[in-house]
Amino acid sequence: MGRHDRGPAAPAVSRHRDPMSAREESVYEKLRTSLAELEEKLREGKTGEREVHPRILAERTRRIAREPTRLDRAPDSISCIVFERSGRRYAVQLESVDEVGPMSRITRVPGVPEYFLGVAARRGRIVAVVDLPLLFTPDARSESSAEHLVMASNAEVVCAVAADALHNIIEVNRRTIAKAMPTFPPLVQRHTLGVLEDRTVVLDLGSLLSDRSLRVEERG
């Protein structure tokens, strides 16, 4: 049985072992494929990374893409991928993630809120890219250029959030998630499951995607 990182203050591991659902297996496979592509780009020097050695970034991709053969989980736990943007850690459910990929060239869109970095092209599709720090604090400024896109989609749109660094995959018991801080803006409150003990913000990426104020629709 492989070891997996867990959310803060998680209870003892349940003896009940559930195999991954077909949806989780699909998400893990997409993550491995996406991160393998990212590692290849790192070897080819195509990511624009200048300050971190490619081998370090490649190791990050391998850590995220490691094989999760079985998950030991409580019935009310969720699998999340953790990433960082401007010094704050976020977690989103694996089931809501379509793909993780390298940052593409972003085109600014006039007349949209500041939290939209713009749109990028990914596999022939238009992706609306959201900068999470600007959702939380409208007058904030991102401290660095993002290196990754964490993407989700539905039948109508594709949306991504920018990430500086990818961390690990964790198991979070819902009972360990505290309520979102009242200082969070209403838009964020609507799409936040809560906050972990280490202050990682757990987002409902599917709900975030469904918010009409965040939609940039694909057009033929």
Q: Which of 181, 170, 30 is nearest to 100 (CA)?
A: 30
Domain 17-214 in CATH 2.40.50.180:
yes
Q: Whose CA is closest to 195, among 176, 170, 167?
A: 176
Q: How many Å apart are CA 187 and CA 185, to the nearest integer?
A: 6
Residues 6+ apart with CB under 8 A from 146: 85, 103, 117, 131, 162, 163, 164
Whole-structure pTM value: 0.65
- Give the per-residue pLDDT at 135: 81
Instruction: Kindly list the domain boundaries of the chain, sorted by start residue.
Output: 17-214
Residue 3 is predicted with a pLDDT of 46
Spans of the chain, pLDDT less than 70: 1-75, 140-144, 155, 213-220
Handedness of CA 83, 88, 93, 98 (dihedral sign): negative
